Amino acid sequence: MIDKKQKIIIANWKMNPISFIEADNLISTIKKGLKKKEDMRIIICPPSIFISKIKKNKSFELGIQNIFWEDKGAYTGEISSKIAKNFGVDYAIIGHSERRKYFKETDEIVNVKMKSVLKNGLSPILCIGETLKEKNQDLASDVIITQLEKAFTDINKSKVLNIIVAYEPIWAIGSGIVPSTDEIMSAVLLIRKIISKLYDRPTAEKVSILYGGSVNSQNALDFVDKTRADGLLIGSVSLNGSEFVRIVNLFG
Ligand code: PGA
């Protein structure tokens, strides 16, 4: 179970880097630079082919960027959360906007993946967020509510504190354009309100909610300190080892 007081910083490497030598260098920089912090959780999500070579250690834990919802069987190309768990992976990103867009992952698929991940003892990192068009049409809250309610369908209260929710407005991902801290705070509060409605207030208060989208070492601190978010999900900047370390070391 995730301790609410811990800050969580997640590196989502996406489909990078292109060789294990580079991945290994990145890991070395991270290991060297990270100061040991009891009150923080650092989760690295490399391409899954690297995972067997990158062992979790005292500096960080491992997450997988995608899983299939069945445990095993004839599903060419897929990796199950059961297999990932057996490899020392403790987290799985689910519902990232790139998977929703390029792989047509629906809210229903997100929900079955959530259940599979929880059943196998991993923590889902559930990504939700609106497109620019939805934001401009004033639909951001509706999108957040729908994505969250569907993702949490039939998930028992006893599992909820294993879930990390990442609010990632799609227009902020990789764009260099970021929401104001007030906008992030509104989203964080809305997410807690919905979880409170689905379960109860104490549960909602304890769930870890992160912000993601064009995070860098200049904006990282404000995105946590001024928004009530519990941490960050970092994409492109996490591929720069020293920059990633700089961000982590801003906290704690
Ligand atoms: P970014 O990506 O930090 O490059 O904007 C964030 C994400 O997609 O999780």
pLDDT in tens, 214-241: 999 999 999 999 999 999 999 999 999 9
Closest Cα to atom 1 of ligand 1: 235
Of 1-10, 115-124, 126-135, 200-209, the range with the lowest mean pLDDT is: 1-10
For residues 166 and 198, what is the distance between their CA atoms, to the nearest angstrom?
18
For residues 135 and 219, what is the distance between their CA atoms, to the nearest angstrom?
21
**Cross-strand bridge partners of residue 68:** 80
For residues 225 and 222, what is the distance between their CA atoms, to the nearest angstrom?
5
Q: Which two tokens stand for residue 12?
A: 């989502």
For residues 233 and 105, what is the distance between their CA atoms, to the nearest angstrom?
20
Q: Which two tokens stand for residue 31?
A: 């290991």
**Residue 114: per-residue pLDDT:** 98
CB 252 less than 6 A from any atom of ligand 1: no
Q: Which two tokens stand for residue 57?
A: 């250690």
Dmax (CA) for the chain in angstroms is: 47
Residue 199 domain boundaries: 7-240
CA 96 vs CA 48, 61, 105, 220: distances in Å: 16, 19, 9, 20
CB 63 less than 6 A from any atom of ligand 1: no
Kindly write down the DSSP assignment for every residue of 111-171, as one continuous string. HHHHHHHHHTTPEEEEEE---HHHHHTT-HHHHHHHHHHHHTTT--HHHHTT-EEEE--GG
In this prediction, residue 248 has a pLDDT band, given cuts at 50, 70 and 90, of: very high
pLDDT in tens, 61-115: 999 999 999 999 999 999 999 999 999 999 999 999 999 999 999 999 999 999 9
- Residue 119, in any domain of the structure: yes
How far away, in angstroms, is 250 Cα from ligand 1 center? 19
Beta strand ranges found along the chain (DSSP E): 7-12, 40-45, 61-64, 91-94, 123-128, 164-167, 208-212, 231-234
Q: What is the mean pLDDT of residues 44-61?
A: 90
**Residue 1: per-residue pLDDT:** 54
- Residue 245, in any domain of the structure: no
Closest Cα to atom 7 of ligand 1: 235
- Residue 94, in any domain of the structure: yes
Pairing of strands 91-94, 61-64: parallel
- Residue 71, in any domain of the structure: yes
Confirm whether 38 is a catalytic residue.
Answer: no
CATH number at residue 207: 3.20.20.70
- Residue 195, in any domain of the structure: yes
Mean pLDDT score of the chain: 95
Token match 């799609």: residue? 170
- Residue 251, in any domain of the structure: no
Q: Which atom of ligand 1 is nearest to the CA of 10?
A: 9
Domain tally for the chain? 1
- Residue 247, in any domain of the structure: no
**Residue 252: per-residue pLDDT:** 72
Closest Cα to atom 6 of ligand 1: 235
In this prediction, residue 58 has a pLDDT band, given cuts at 50, 70 and 90, of: confident
- Residue 56, in any domain of the structure: yes
pTM: 0.97
